[in-house]
Structure 1
Amino acid sequence: MRVRIVLFTSDLRVHDHPPLRAALNAADAVVPLFVRDRGITATGFPAPNREAFLADCLRDLDEGLRERGGRLVVRSGDVVDEVAKVVSETDARAVHLASGVSAYARRREDRLRDVLEGLGCDLVVHDAVVTCVPPGAVTPAGRDHFAVFTPYHRHWSQHGTRAVVRAPQTVTVPDAVGSEDLPAREDVSGVSPALAEGGERAGRARLTAWLRSGIAGYEDGHDDLAGDVTSRLSPDLHFGTVSPVEAVQRARAAGGPGAEAFVRQLAWRDFHHQVLAARPDAAHDNYRSQDDRWRSEQAAAQEIEAWRQGLTGYPIVDAAMRQLRHEGWMHNRGRLLTACFLTKTLYVDWRVGARHFMDLLVDADVANNQLNWQWMAGTGTDSRPNRVLNPVTQAKRYDPDGAYVRRWVPELAELSGAAIHEPWKLTGLDRAAFDYPDPLLDLSDGLARFKRARGLD
């Protein structure tokens, strides 16, 4: 029996899965394998929200494979060791894998290739599984990646996407290959109360529903905090329960300005992946240094904790931080505002904020989380590194009647209209009636400190 292994990583689906399709075309049987990699565990990356969502995804993937006569094989340990064991157990001739962009993913591929070669087994790495366009597929003249989004987007749009691969009808798995029990969400503690359901079925349902009823209003409403007309597909894209290629093609088929705006956001996702692929140290080092002398975590400890808890005294910032804690997700405009407030108003290192987001965001991955944080801190690819978003101005623009703040900062719910964004303007008994902190600092003081630090004053 010809056997091939499909190593699932950030591609937990059966629809539009080129590695699975290629393995099935070349073999009599496949081993759909997921390794709970202790190398990733050691980094602290598997935070509770992502562990719970992952458990949903693995159970749903197993069900999808069983509907086709197969099953998911789950192992724990060093990913290379576990793959090698399955190769030895099945005499598999090849392992199929979606390409990754992080330094860890690159090392994993290199180690797998070396070990498998000694076992007489090939490693077949597939592009355009986690992204629409492979990193490095479009590059500027004389450089290995684009550092500016607009020209990247133009080339990305012209590049096109591969064809969507249909889901298999039948999957045959060798009977003798053993598996651990699947993890369960209920076994994970510390999960956000309103964390979304994970898995391919849930992700495809979200995509279909949004294409049917949400995408038309996306261009005009994607920054409306209370309206929440975003797709909420970022966790599905992170875990690969929804194919970015299929999402782009279905959005383009729907057509219209909303679809164009949505596809542009998927291009941003690919943009960050190609930056990280070319500059893997951007996961922890500044892409472009501004010679910042960030306040130390010790000196800013009280302000950092207030930011984490949603108690800064700026309602729009606090609302977004509370949404993050409750849902394990945050509206994109909220991400911009909270990141700007931490890095430029409080002048705290972006890595402090990125770490907190990694602790709670279900969709946090290295490329998008770290590089979006750098973009807002002005140390990344932003062509205007010193821009500062005023949270009050932004709140009045993107939450004009205060509905978003009222939802997440209920202690201010009785304040009407835009007044909810500036509760510190109340005086006397009116102010005392609300159990809500005063602002950590005046915005003008934060801006002056930032300008001094960057030599802009």
Structure 2
Amino acid sequence: MTVSVVLYTADLRVHDHPPLRAALEGAHEVLPVFVRDPAVDRAGFAAPNRLAFLADCLVDLDRALRERGGRLVLRQGDTVAEVRALVRQAEADEVHMAGGATAFARARQERLRRALEEDGRRLYVHDGVVDVVAPGDVTPQGSDHFAVFTPYHRRWSGEPVRTPLRAPGAVRVPADVRSEPMPRRSSVADVSPGLARGGESEGRRRLASWLAGEGDSYEQGQDDLAGDATSRLSPHLHFGTVSAVEAVHRARRRGGAGAEAFVRQLCWRDFHRQVLAARPAAATEDYRPRHDRWRRGPEAEADLAAWREGRTGYPVVDAAMRQLAHEGWMHNRGRLITASFLVKTLYVDWREGARHFLDLLVDGDVANNQLNWQWVAGTGTDTRPNRALNPLLQGKRYDPEGAYVRRWVPELAGLGMPELHEPWRVTGPGRTALNYPEPVIGLSEGLQRFRRGRGLV
């Protein structure tokens, strides 16, 4: 009786899962495995919010497999060593897994491939499991990746998208392979109180609900901070509880401008993944150096702390940072505003902001997080590297009634407009009663400091 192993990583689902389907078609029994590897913690990929969400995902995946007669085998340790041991124990012939984009994921794949080959076994890496178009599948003439989004989007949109696979009806698992107990969210400390639930069941429910409702208004409302018409699917895409391929198919079947705008965001995700796959150093180094002289020292540290805590004196910035702390998630427009404020107004290194986001974001994906930060900082793929977003204008444009600020900065909830976005207009005893800080810096002063630091003046 033949056995194949399916190694789960960032693809925690049973629907549209090519590695699982290939394993089931090629063997009598399949061993679905997830390894909690301490190297992931040391690499900075683990954080309380993601660990709690991961626990939900693993429990839900185990439930889905058990409904089909199978189960998930959970192990802890070095991924290569644990999978190799399981392959030997189950006398498996091959291992199937999804392809990764980060340097960490690709190094893990190669180590596993070499280890299995030494034992006379094979590793099959399936692309297009966590992406729509895998890194390297489309390239411009003379380069190994696209450095500008628009031509990439044009090529990406013309690529055929494989048909999503149905979830298997039955999964046969060897009976004599032990598993460690499934983790529980309640065992993770320091989790954001408003963190969403994880798991494929929740992800599929959210996708269907959003496409049937808010998705229709997404094109017009995607930047509305208070309305929050975003899909909130990014954590599920990060953990692979929702298939990006299936999401594209379902959105296109739904049709309309909102669905097409949503598909464009999925293209942005693939765009960043193909950049990082080709230039793995961009996770920590400037993709396009601008010779910045980032601020250092006590004053910069104090500004960074005020930004992290949502106490900058700029209401829309503070609202977004407080949403991040409470939910482990932030509205996409909020991410742009807060990132621009840190790097272009406070002139603090983008890596400091990216690190804080990765500490809290449940969807903290290395490719999207780091390269979006570089895009805002002007060290990445943005064709206008020196643009700076004015938080006052952004707040008035994308939170015109002030509902978002009132929700997350309750000390300002009683103010009308324009004082809500510019609380320094309040003077006298009323200003003191607000218990809200003065702006950490004037916007014009911050902009000049950025221009000097970048050598633009």
* Category of TM-score, reference length = shorter chain: over 0.9
For the structure 1 residues 298 and 122, does the alpha-carbon distance in structure 2 shift closer, same or farther, using more than 3 Å as the test? farther
Aligned positions, number:
457
Report whether the alignment pairs 1:129 with 2:134.
no
Tell me which amino acid in the other structure corresponds to 1:170: A
In the alignment, is the contact (CA less than 8 A) between 1:95 and 1:122 conserved in 2? yes
2: CA distance, partners of 1:328 / 1:64: 26
The match for 2:253 is 253
Structure 1 residue 418 displacement after superposition: 3.4
SS at match of 2:164: coil
Structure-to-structure mapping, 1:112-151, within 5 angstroms: 112-151=112-151
Find the residue that maps to 1:418 and give its secondary structure.
coil
Q: 2: CA distance between counterparts of 1:131 and 1:248? A: 11
Other structure's SS at 2:285 match: coil
Superposed, 1:258-273 pairs within 5 Å as 258-273=258-273
User: Is 2:225–2:331's contact at 8 Å kept on the other side of the alignment?
Assistant: yes
Contact 2:419 2:426 in 1 (8 A): no
Corresponding residue of 1:79: 79
Give the counterpart letter for 2:218 in structure 1: Y
CA deviation string 1:359-409 (max 9, x = no partner):
000000110000000000100000000000000000000000100000000
User: Residue 454 of structure 1: CA displacement?
Assistant: 1.6
* 1:58-457 aligned within 5 A: 58-296=58-296, 298-457=298-457
The structural deviation recorded for 1:297 is: 5.4
Deviation digits for residues 101-159 of structure 1 (CA, Å, limit 9, x no counterpart): 10001100110110000111100000000100011111100100000000000000001
The residue aligned with 1:31 is 31
SS state at 2:288 partner: coil
Is the Cα contact below 8 Å between 1:401 and 1:418 reproduced in 2?
no
Q: CA deviation at 1:431?
A: 1.5
Q: Contact 1:402–1:418 at 8 Å: present in 2 too?
A: no
1:430 Cα deviation (Å)?
2.5
Q: TM-score under structure 1 normalisation?
A: 0.99
Q: Secondary structure at the match of 1:203?
A: helix
Q: Which shows bigger deviation, 422-431 or 185-194?
A: 422-431
Identity in percent = 66
Alpha-carbon offset, residue 432 of structure 1: 2.0
In structure 2, distance between residues paired with 1:231 and 1:297? 39
What is the letter of the counterpart of residue 404 of structure 1?
Y
- Residues 228, 331 of structure 2: 8 Å contact kept: yes
Three-state SS of the structure 1 residue aligned to 2:123 is strand
TM-score of the pair, normalised by structure 2: 0.99
Shift of 1:341: 0.5
For 2:138 and 2:120, locate their aligned partners in 1 and report how far apart those are by CA, in whole Å. 34
Deviation at 1:298, TM superposition (A): 4.1
- Between the aligned partners of 1:134 and 1:44, the Cα distance in structure 2 is 24
Q: Aligned equivalents of 1:418 and 1:63: distance in 2?
A: 52
CA contact (8 A) 2:310 2:321 kept: yes
CA distance in 2, matches of 1:299, 1:82: 47
SS at match of 2:419: helix
**C-alpha distance in 2, partners of 1:299/1:436?**
20
Distance in 1 (CA, whole Å) between partners of 2:447 and 2:232 is 32
**SS at the partner of 1:97?**
strand
| Residues 297 and 348, structure 1, Cα contact 8 Å, conserved in 2 | no
Q: Distance in 2 between matches of 1:298 and 1:326?
A: 27
Give the stretch that moved more between structures: 32-41 or 405-414: 32-41
SS of aligned partner of 1:419: coil
SS where residue 10 of structure 2 aligns? Answer: coil
Over 6 Å off, 4+ runs: none
State the match for 1:9 in structure 2. 9
| One-letter amino acid of the structure 1 residue matched with residue 304 of structure 2 | I
Query: Within 2, Cα distance between the matches of 1:45 and 1:259?
Result: 31
Counterpart Cα distance in 2 of 1:284 and 1:431: 42
Distance 1:198 1:59 in 2: 9
Return the alpha-carbon distance in structure 2 between the equivalents of residues 41 and 164 of structure 1. 32
Amino acid at match of 1:113: R
Equivalent-residue separation in structure 1 for 2:316 and 2:444 (angstroms): 17
SS of residue matched to 2:31: strand
> How large is the RMSD of aligned CA atoms in angstroms?
0.7
In structure 2, the CA distance between the partners of 1:374 and 1:297, relative to structure 1 (3 Å rule), is farther
User: Alignment partner of 1:421: what SS?
Assistant: coil
C-alpha distance in 2, partners of 1:296/1:371? 22
The one-character-per-residue Cα deviations of 1:295-316 (angstroms, maximum 9, x if unpaired) are: 1254411111010000000000
Q: CA deviation at 1:43?
A: 2.1
